Amino acid sequence: STVLTYLTSIENLPCELQRNFTLMRDLDNRTEEKKAEIDKLAEEYVANVKNLASQQRVEHLQKIQNAYSKCKEFSDDKVQLAMQTYEMVDKHIRRLDADLARFENELKEKLELSGYESTDGRGDLRVQRDKHSPRKKKIKNSPDLTEALLPMQPSDVLDMPVDPNEPTYCLCHQVSYGEMIGCDNPDCPIEWFHFACVDLATKPKGKWFCPRCTQEKKKK
Protein backbone atom coordinates (compact mmCIF):
# COMPACT_ATOMS: atom_id res chain seq x y z
CA SER A 1 0.00 0.00 0.00
CA THR A 2 0.99 3.66 -0.33
CA VAL A 3 1.34 4.09 3.46
CA LEU A 4 3.48 0.95 3.82
CA THR A 5 5.72 1.99 0.93
CA TYR A 6 6.24 5.44 2.46
CA LEU A 7 6.97 4.02 5.93
CA THR A 8 9.53 1.65 4.42
CA SER A 9 11.21 4.54 2.58
CA ILE A 10 11.71 6.53 5.82
CA GLU A 11 12.76 3.57 7.95
CA ASN A 12 16.42 4.63 7.95
CA LEU A 13 15.76 8.37 8.12
CA PRO A 14 16.18 8.72 11.92
CA CYS A 15 19.59 6.97 11.77
CA GLU A 16 20.72 9.13 8.84
CA LEU A 17 19.64 12.31 10.64
CA GLN A 18 21.34 11.21 13.87
CA ARG A 19 24.56 10.51 11.92
CA ASN A 20 24.53 13.97 10.32
CA PHE A 21 23.75 15.74 13.61
CA THR A 22 26.60 13.83 15.31
CA LEU A 23 29.01 14.85 12.55
CA MET A 24 27.93 18.49 12.84
CA ARG A 25 28.41 18.43 16.60
CA ASP A 26 31.90 16.93 16.09
CA LEU A 27 32.72 19.71 13.60
CA ASP A 28 31.56 22.29 16.16
CA ASN A 29 33.87 20.79 18.80
CA ARG A 30 36.84 20.71 16.41
CA THR A 31 36.17 24.33 15.42
CA GLU A 32 36.13 25.43 19.08
CA GLU A 33 39.41 23.61 19.69
CA LYS A 34 40.97 25.30 16.66
CA LYS A 35 39.71 28.73 17.81
CA ALA A 36 41.34 28.16 21.21
CA GLU A 37 44.56 27.25 19.37
CA ILE A 38 44.34 30.50 17.35
CA ASP A 39 43.88 32.55 20.54
CA LYS A 40 46.93 30.89 22.11
CA LEU A 41 49.07 31.45 18.99
CA ALA A 42 47.99 35.10 18.82
CA GLU A 43 48.87 35.68 22.49
CA GLU A 44 52.28 34.08 21.98
CA TYR A 45 52.94 36.22 18.93
CA VAL A 46 52.00 39.47 20.68
CA ALA A 47 54.10 38.58 23.74
CA ASN A 48 57.21 37.58 21.76
CA VAL A 49 57.01 39.61 18.55
CA LYS A 50 59.79 41.98 19.60
CA ASN A 51 62.18 39.10 20.15
CA LEU A 52 61.33 37.20 16.98
CA ALA A 53 63.43 37.34 13.86
CA SER A 54 61.71 38.26 10.61
CA GLN A 55 61.50 34.63 9.44
CA GLN A 56 60.15 33.50 12.82
CA ARG A 57 57.40 36.13 12.61
CA VAL A 58 56.40 34.89 9.16
CA GLU A 59 56.32 31.29 10.38
CA HIS A 60 54.24 32.18 13.44
CA LEU A 61 51.74 34.19 11.39
CA GLN A 62 51.55 31.28 8.93
CA LYS A 63 50.54 28.96 11.78
CA ILE A 64 47.72 31.36 12.69
CA GLN A 65 46.65 31.56 9.04
CA ASN A 66 46.62 27.76 8.72
CA ALA A 67 44.47 27.47 11.85
CA TYR A 68 41.98 30.01 10.44
CA SER A 69 41.88 28.06 7.15
CA LYS A 70 41.09 24.87 9.09
CA CYS A 71 38.27 26.65 10.92
CA LYS A 72 36.79 27.74 7.60
CA GLU A 73 37.09 24.19 6.27
CA PHE A 74 35.17 22.84 9.28
CA SER A 75 32.48 25.52 8.81
CA ASP A 76 32.10 24.70 5.11
CA ASP A 77 31.75 21.00 5.93
CA LYS A 78 29.07 21.81 8.50
CA VAL A 79 27.12 23.92 5.98
CA GLN A 80 27.26 21.08 3.45
CA LEU A 81 25.99 18.62 6.06
CA ALA A 82 23.16 20.98 7.04
CA MET A 83 22.11 21.36 3.40
CA GLN A 84 22.30 17.60 2.88
CA THR A 85 20.13 17.04 5.97
CA TYR A 86 17.55 19.60 4.82
CA GLU A 87 17.35 18.06 1.33
CA MET A 88 17.02 14.59 2.86
CA VAL A 89 14.00 15.61 4.93
CA ASP A 90 12.54 17.77 2.14
CA LYS A 91 12.69 14.84 -0.29
CA HIS A 92 10.59 12.71 2.07
CA ILE A 93 8.12 15.55 2.66
CA ARG A 94 7.63 16.01 -1.10
CA ARG A 95 7.25 12.24 -1.47
CA LEU A 96 4.61 12.22 1.26
CA ASP A 97 2.74 15.14 -0.38
CA ALA A 98 2.62 13.28 -3.70
CA ASP A 99 1.59 9.99 -2.07
CA LEU A 100 -1.19 11.67 -0.10
CA ALA A 101 -2.51 13.40 -3.22
CA ARG A 102 -2.39 10.10 -5.13
CA PHE A 103 -4.14 8.30 -2.25
CA GLU A 104 -6.86 10.95 -2.23
CA ASN A 105 -7.48 10.52 -5.95
CA GLU A 106 -7.56 6.72 -5.62
CA LEU A 107 -10.00 6.99 -2.73
CA LYS A 108 -12.34 9.22 -4.73
CA GLU A 109 -12.26 6.83 -7.68
CA LYS A 110 -13.04 3.83 -5.45
CA LEU A 111 -15.89 5.64 -3.73
CA GLU A 112 -17.37 6.69 -7.06
CA LEU A 113 -17.23 3.09 -8.29
CA SER A 114 -18.84 1.93 -5.03
CA GLY A 115 -21.92 4.07 -5.65
CA TYR A 116 -21.14 7.26 -3.78
CA GLU A 117 -22.46 10.40 -5.46
CA SER A 118 -21.90 14.04 -4.64
CA THR A 119 -24.86 16.39 -5.19
CA ASP A 120 -22.77 19.53 -5.46
CA GLY A 121 -19.32 18.16 -6.25
CA ARG A 122 -18.04 18.80 -2.74
CA GLY A 123 -19.21 16.99 0.35
CA ASP A 124 -23.01 16.49 0.43
CA LEU A 125 -23.12 12.75 -0.21
CA ARG A 126 -25.96 10.43 -1.07
CA VAL A 127 -25.17 6.77 -0.44
CA GLN A 128 -26.77 3.97 -2.44
CA ARG A 129 -26.46 0.84 -0.29
CA ASP A 130 -27.45 -2.70 -1.26
CA LYS A 131 -29.82 -4.22 1.30
CA HIS A 132 -27.76 -7.38 1.36
CA SER A 133 -24.37 -5.67 1.76
CA PRO A 134 -22.55 -6.13 5.09
CA ARG A 135 -23.39 -3.56 7.73
CA LYS A 136 -20.61 -1.07 8.38
CA LYS A 137 -19.48 -0.40 11.93
CA LYS A 138 -19.81 3.25 12.87
CA ILE A 139 -18.50 5.28 15.76
CA LYS A 140 -21.35 6.66 17.79
CA ASN A 141 -22.26 10.27 16.97
CA SER A 142 -19.58 10.41 14.27
CA PRO A 143 -19.95 10.50 10.45
CA ASP A 144 -19.05 7.53 8.28
CA LEU A 145 -15.26 7.46 7.82
CA THR A 146 -15.55 7.45 4.04
CA GLU A 147 -17.89 10.44 4.11
CA ALA A 148 -15.34 12.29 6.22
CA LEU A 149 -12.48 11.45 3.87
CA LEU A 150 -14.13 12.09 0.51
CA PRO A 151 -14.42 15.91 0.69
CA MET A 152 -10.62 16.32 1.05
CA GLN A 153 -9.17 18.78 -1.41
CA PRO A 154 -5.58 18.60 -2.75
CA SER A 155 -4.77 21.79 -0.86
CA ASP A 156 -5.56 19.92 2.37
CA VAL A 157 -2.56 17.71 1.74
CA LEU A 158 -0.16 20.22 3.22
CA ASP A 159 -2.42 20.79 6.22
CA MET A 160 -1.47 24.43 6.48
CA PRO A 161 -3.08 27.81 5.67
CA VAL A 162 -2.88 28.75 2.00
CA ASP A 163 -2.06 32.31 1.02
CA PRO A 164 -5.02 33.58 -1.07
CA ASN A 165 -2.51 35.49 -3.22
CA GLU A 166 -0.46 32.38 -3.99
CA PRO A 167 -0.75 31.37 -7.67
CA THR A 168 -2.54 28.15 -8.61
CA TYR A 169 -1.48 25.52 -11.11
CA CYS A 170 -2.44 22.20 -12.62
CA LEU A 171 -5.77 20.81 -13.81
CA CYS A 172 -7.00 20.92 -10.20
CA HIS A 173 -6.38 24.70 -9.91
CA GLN A 174 -4.57 24.26 -6.59
CA VAL A 175 -1.38 25.79 -5.19
CA SER A 176 2.03 24.23 -5.67
CA TYR A 177 2.78 21.22 -3.44
CA GLY A 178 4.66 17.95 -3.70
CA GLU A 179 6.46 16.97 -6.89
CA MET A 180 5.43 18.88 -10.01
CA ILE A 181 6.26 18.65 -13.71
CA GLY A 182 6.35 21.39 -16.34
CA CYS A 183 4.70 21.01 -19.74
CA ASP A 184 7.22 21.31 -22.61
CA ASN A 185 4.76 23.30 -24.72
CA PRO A 186 6.01 26.92 -24.37
CA ASP A 187 2.45 28.15 -25.01
CA CYS A 188 0.83 25.93 -22.37
CA PRO A 189 -1.59 28.13 -20.37
CA ILE A 190 -1.15 26.06 -17.19
CA GLU A 191 2.58 25.15 -17.34
CA TRP A 192 2.95 23.19 -14.06
CA PHE A 193 1.14 20.04 -12.91
CA HIS A 194 1.09 17.85 -9.77
CA PHE A 195 2.42 14.34 -10.45
CA ALA A 196 -0.70 12.69 -9.01
CA CYS A 197 -3.09 14.78 -11.11
CA VAL A 198 -1.49 13.61 -14.38
CA ASP A 199 -0.93 10.00 -13.24
CA LEU A 200 2.85 10.26 -12.84
CA ALA A 201 4.92 8.53 -10.17
CA THR A 202 8.33 9.56 -11.51
CA LYS A 203 9.61 12.17 -13.96
CA PRO A 204 9.35 10.79 -17.52
CA LYS A 205 12.36 10.80 -19.83
CA GLY A 206 12.43 13.23 -22.72
CA LYS A 207 9.81 15.85 -23.42
CA TRP A 208 6.46 15.71 -21.64
CA PHE A 209 3.21 17.40 -22.70
CA CYS A 210 0.18 17.84 -20.46
CA PRO A 211 -3.17 16.17 -21.32
CA ARG A 212 -4.61 19.47 -22.54
CA CYS A 213 -1.74 20.23 -24.93
CA THR A 214 -1.65 16.60 -26.10
CA GLN A 215 -5.36 16.85 -26.97
CA GLU A 216 -4.80 20.14 -28.83
CA LYS A 217 -1.97 18.56 -30.88
CA LYS A 218 -4.27 15.71 -31.90
CA LYS A 219 -6.90 18.18 -33.14
CA LYS A 220 -4.33 19.82 -35.40
CA distance 94 to 10: 12
Per the annotation, does 183 bind a ligand? yes
Contact 175, 192 (CB under 8 A): no
Per the annotation, does 15 bind a ligand? no
Run of H or E including 63: helix 54-113
- The backbone torsions φ and ψ at residue 187, rounded to the nearest 5 degrees and listed phi first, read -100, 10
Per the annotation, does 71 bind a ligand? no
* Sign of the four-CA dihedral 150, 195, 168, 187: negative
Per the annotation, does 213 bind a ligand? yes
**How far from each other are the two terminal CA atoms of the chain, in whole angstroms?**
41
| Binding residue numbers | 170, 172, 183, 188, 194, 197, 210, 213
Binding-site positions for Zn(2+): 170, 172, 183, 188, 194, 197, 210, 213
